[in-house]
Amino acid sequence: KSGFTAIVGRPNVGKSTFMNRVIGEKIAIMSDKAQTTRNRIQGVYTDEDSQIVFIDTPGIHKPKHKLGNYMVNTAEQTLNEVDIILFMINAEEGYGRGDQFIVDRLKNVDRPVYLIINKIDRVHPDKLITLIEQYRELMEFTEIVPISALEGNNVDHLLTVIKGHL
Ligand code: GDP
Ligand code: MG
């Protein structure tokens, strides 16, 4: 089994942390500053029976200038070429305008979209349930998977879910 998986989400939701945990190397640039990862950085996860190519798509956010527009278009192209999209959000922050912009882009894409709620180590389970209900109303997700990329909670399960879709 093999396939391509794109990760989208606002800056600092934990995309690079997730990729680094899964692939086990520092392949993505870690930074708290927005937009340091300009290019699509790919990492490949391999095991006995599967190969998953991960693509970090930092360009999906409301553009502030022309280069920003170019980046949004590039990111949208990527989304239409992959097998699976992981839309990652920060459980601590909840729904915001940045997410709305991404959700609007994702609605135009004909690919399975998984909602990945990251940083669950930082929130109360009740808040998590409220978040899930809130996001369910925005669009139809193939599945909603809460994880902690930093601590590793549920990351193996997410990999199993991805493999099941390839
Ligand atoms: P990106 O901009 O989406 O690539 O986000 P990063 O992977 O660079 O992470 C941004 C910040 O969030 C870093 O300080 C990470 O250590 C932190 N972070 C990432 N995942 C988690 C998590 O699951 N739990 C907590 N508490 N912090 C996290
Ligand atoms: Mg990053």
pLDDT of residue 11: 84
Q: Residue 42: what pLDDT?
A: 63
Query: Using CA atoms, how far apart are residues 35 and 29, in angstroms rounded to an integer?
Result: 10
pLDDT at 26 over 60: no
User: Among the atoms of ligand 1, which is closest to the Cα of residue 11?
Assistant: 2
Q: Which of the two residues, 16 and 66, has the higher pLDDT score?
A: 16
CA distances for 163 relative to 4, 40, 62, 70, 112, angstroms: 11, 22, 31, 31, 13
**How confident is the model at residue 27, as a pLDDT?**
53
Label the pairing between strands 113-118 and 84-90. parallel
Measured in angstroms, how far is the CA atom of residue 15 from the centroid of ligand 1? 7
12 is known to lie in a ligand binding site: yes
Can you tell me which atom of ligand 1 is nearest the CA of 20? 7
Q: Is the predicted pLDDT of residue 12 greater than 70, yes or no?
A: yes
Q: How confident is the model at residue 37 (pLDDT cuts 50, 70, 90)?
A: very low
pLDDT at 41: 55
Quick one: DSSP state of residue 112?
A: -
Pocket of ligand 1 (CB under 6 A): 9, 11-17, 30-32, 118-119, 121-122, 148-150
How many other C-beta atoms lie within 10 A of the C-beta of residue 74?
17
Alpha carbons 103 and 100: distance in angstroms, whole number: 5
- Cα gap 29→67, rounded to integer Å: 20
Average pLDDT over residues 141-151: 97
Residues 6+ apart with CB under 8 A from 133: none
For ligand 1, the distance from its centroid to the CA atom of residue 10, given in whole angstroms, is 11
Confidence check on the interface: ipTM exceeds 0.90, yes or no? yes
Residue 136 marked ligand-binding: no
Full set of structural domains in the chain with CATH:
2-165 (3.40.50.300)
- The string of pLDDT tens digits covering residues 71-108 is 677 777 778 888 999 999 999 998 888 888 889 889 88
Task: Give 36's pLDDT tier (boundaries 50, 70, 90).
Answer: very low
